[in-house]
Structure 1
Amino acid sequence: MNDMTTLTKPRVETVLKDWETDQEVRWCPGCGDYAILKAVQRTLPQLGADPKNTVFVSGIGCSSRFPYYVESYGFHTIHGRAPAVATGVKLANPELDVWIVTGDGDGLSIGGNHTMHILRRNLDCQILLFNNEIYGLTKGQYSPTSREGTRSPSTPAGSIDHPAKPAAFALGSGARFIARAYDVARQLPDVLTAAYNHKGAAFVEIFQNCIVYNKDVFADFTEKKNADDGQLWLENGRPMLFSKGSKGIALDREALALKVVDVVDGDWAGAGVIVHDVTNRSVAHMLVEMPFGAFPMALGVVYDDPIASFEQAVVAQNAQLAKGKMPDLQKLVGQGQTWTVSAREETDAADAGSAGSGPEL
């Protein structure tokens, strides 16, 4: 693994309660956001994160209430613009830990452009995209990730849109870290930890159950009875096995595509099962594009191959440009075309204004 993934930030000792605010948590009873909030609040002490050095930035939507509930600095910004605000925060103070909380509507519809650019720039931050495949806050309209046929107030006959795939979108935008989990997964804290330790933009898609408008849409792989066959939890350096080790993912070299294979007597190597390499971008693309049903859902850290982050490059460039120069604001303001307005000219302008004005009412 590249050295840039090594956590070098000073640790601060905190407990769960240090990250809880006095605000009443207001989501619908049973909403998956509760589980995600608690997973984040439990993970932050394990990371040694400092509440006074942490900022949560959100846009608009159910997920975007997050900053109210985490005892840290936070911005509840406008629809889709959380990445732009987060970029400003990080550039102003690169030492801050910046988390972005968004949803499939906020981050991929009006905010799709901003999400793309923060990923390609590779700002050092964690982006948590809650994907419930619906607009929950505005009462159940279909979203960019809603499946074809989704019936909603805005698509009563069923959506005919082809849904966006958040992880594939992130990879296509140049993201260097991609992970997936779901709201009540016990592995979610491990995924959050990996994202935090990554130097650069870490994109985490979290499948979230909207109990009111899209209930159990992910049940085919999240429910306990479906988990063995429906989930492929990826671990770097470990074979891609699922269904209690009886099946695995192999590469069809003729078709240049992935396929499911049976594993007999634990001989995964003989079955051709792939060993997960988080730095393999080509396989990462295939993993996030696997059609569910024919394949399990790929979860965990899919891709992790860091490069220098955006704010590092900005700080280095500014330092280079400032080398050998003394800051002089007056000189900067006075350079170029300047002129001096005399006292006589100011008086004449004032008189002309008075003459042209009508009587006071």
Structure 2
Amino acid sequence: MNQLTKIETSLKDWETDQEVRWCPGCGDYAILKAVQRTLPQLGADPANTVFVSGIGCSSRFPYYMESYGFHTIHGRAPAFATGIKLANPDLDVWLVTGDGDGLSIGGNHLMHVLRRNVDMQILLFNNEIYGLTKGQYSPTSRENTRSPSTPLGSVDHPANPCAFALGAGARFVGRGIDVSRNLPDILTAAHAHRGAAFIEIFQNCIVYNKDVFDDFARPKGADQQQLWLSHGEPMLFGSEKTGGVKGLRLDPSRFAFEVVDVSDGDWEAAGVVVHDATNRVLAHMLVELPFGPFPMPLGVIYDDPKPTYEAAVHDEKRRASEGKEASFAKLLAKGQTWTVDGTAQDPV
């Protein structure tokens, strides 16, 4: 996005006249407001902003943003978003998808937009269920999830969205919670990243998967269950009021994380790891941490930019056309040609 296009707007400038039609209490409302509050802080211009979605509850998002938008087809939003960015690299593109839309039929498309590193913000709403189609289990549903499609409980091992993104070559991976006050900070960091920025957002489906994230997302005891990461800062969580301050340390004998007590405040002596958002190996370890023995890693997990796909495409186009005259007539006449004079006879 061209930094010179920054303008002054308010939250109201990003709201549409459309009735927001999600179930009362749905986490999508909180995410919508977080985005609408963040865009004015970024200096974003509605005339230069595009929201692209596929199919699902989350994919109603473009209707509620006073900007350009495309409500596309199931799983194919990354392909549309890629085309938009290639056609006009100066547009600020946001892709909105869900765990069903993005990781089932759309998994292939999502993989390629990440590995190509197309400059856009990708918000994956993860509610671990198919909400729009009435509660079937999704690619991220936990084992033993009971649903209309798995009445005896799912036997699938769930997909890990952040691990998928890293495996596909994503250069930015973040993770947040729908109602978290820190979500705008993650959105801001993703927007500052040049390239494909992937954010998994835990989103409460009030009807079909209510409070499935309460083990770490509920306010009470959250500081013991959530590890908010910040580049250059120690991996600490907890407080003296809720069971003591703890941190993550690497056990060199297993090259694996372990939880250590840091109640005395000396995190360096305890060997607590300092978060390095540019360390890909560290990012893989964090997104694979099992919740329960460990807190849930949140915030910016990985951020290490590299050249974008659309920049490379347009640079190649520029180099290919250098010193050449654009002539459609010459192009048509190039190579072997034939002239039809109308005298030819049909073969007998």
TM-score normalised by the chain length of structure 2:
0.95
Amino acid at match of 1:130: F
Cα drift, residue 264 of structure 1: 3.0
- Relative distance call for 1:342 and 1:95 in structure 2 (3 A) is same
- Secondary structure of residue in 2 paired with 1:225: coil
Q: Deviations over 1:30-79 (max 9, x none)?
A: 00000000100110000000100000000000000000110111111110
Amino acid at match of 2:333: G
Amino acid at match of 1:199: R
For the pair 1:98 / 2:88, whether they are aligned, the reply is no
Cα drift, residue 28 of structure 1: 0.6
What is the aligned residue count?
342
Equivalent residue, structure 1, for 2:333: 334
Equivalent residue, structure 2, for 1:238: 233
CA contact (8 A) 1:220 1:226 kept: no
CA contact (8 A) 1:234 1:298 kept: yes
CA contact (8 A) 1:132 1:208 kept: yes
Q: Deviations over 1:272-324 (max 9, x none)?
A: 10111110111110000000011000000000000111111111111111110
Equivalent residue, structure 2, for 1:254: 253
CA contact (8 A) 1:132 1:207 kept: yes
**CA distance in 2: counterparts of 1:148 and 1:283, whole angstroms:** 26
**CA distance in 2: counterparts of 1:54 and 1:90, whole angstroms:** 11
Q: How does 1:38-187 map to 2 (within 5 A)?
A: 38-187=33-182
**CA distance in 1: counterparts of 2:32 and 2:271, whole angstroms:** 39
Amino acid at match of 1:19: W
CA contact (8 A) 1:177 1:195 kept: yes
- Secondary structure of residue in 2 paired with 1:45: helix
User: Which of 196, 204, 214 is 2:199 aligned to?
Assistant: 204
**CA distance in 2: counterparts of 1:335 and 1:207, whole angstroms:** 56
Equivalent residue, structure 2, for 1:273: 272
Equivalent residue, structure 1, for 2:215: 220
CA contact (8 A) 1:7 1:197 kept: no
Identity %: 72
Unaligned runs of 5+ in 2: none
CA contact (8 A) 2:51 2:67 kept: yes
- Secondary structure of residue in 2 paired with 1:224: coil
**CA distance in 2: counterparts of 1:101 and 1:82, whole angstroms:** 8
Amino acid at match of 2:23: C
Cα drift, residue 255 of structure 1: 0.3
**CA distance in 2: counterparts of 1:254 and 1:52, whole angstroms:** 55
**CA distance in 1: counterparts of 2:212 and 2:80, whole angstroms:** 32
Cα drift, residue 9 of structure 1: 4.7
For the pair 1:320 / 2:315, whether they are aligned, the reply is no
- Secondary structure of residue in 2 paired with 1:181: strand
Structure 1 window deviating more from structure 2 (6-15 vs 53-62): it is: 6-15
- Secondary structure of residue in 1 paired with 2:204: coil
Cα drift, residue 11 of structure 1: 1.3
Q: How does 1:26-37 map to 2 (within 5 A)?
A: 26-37=21-32
CA contact (8 A) 2:2 2:90 kept: no
Cα drift, residue 7 of structure 1: 8.2
Cα drift, residue 343 of structure 1: 5.2
Equivalent residue, structure 1, for 2:20: 25
Unaligned runs of 5+ in 1: 1-5, 350-361
- Relative distance call for 1:217 and 1:339 in structure 2 (3 A) is same
**CA distance in 1: counterparts of 2:323 and 2:255, whole angstroms:** 55
Amino acid at match of 2:322: K
**CA distance in 2: counterparts of 1:224 and 1:16, whole angstroms:** 26
CA contact (8 A) 1:134 1:143 kept: yes
Cα drift, residue 329 of structure 1: 1.6
- Relative distance call for 1:183 and 1:9 in structure 2 (3 A) is farther
Cα drift, residue 339 of structure 1: 3.1
Cα drift, residue 342 of structure 1: 4.1
Amino acid at match of 1:156: P
Equivalent residue, structure 1, for 2:309: 310
Q: Deviations over 1:229-270 (max 9, x none)?
A: 110000111110001261001111110111111113101111
Higher Cα Rg: structure 1 or 2? 1
- Secondary structure of residue in 2 paired with 1:266: coil
**CA distance in 1: counterparts of 2:228 and 2:259, whole angstroms:** 15
Amino acid at match of 1:51: P
Cα drift, residue 341 of structure 1: 3.9
Amino acid at match of 2:294: F
**CA distance in 2: counterparts of 1:7 and 1:306, whole angstroms:** 17
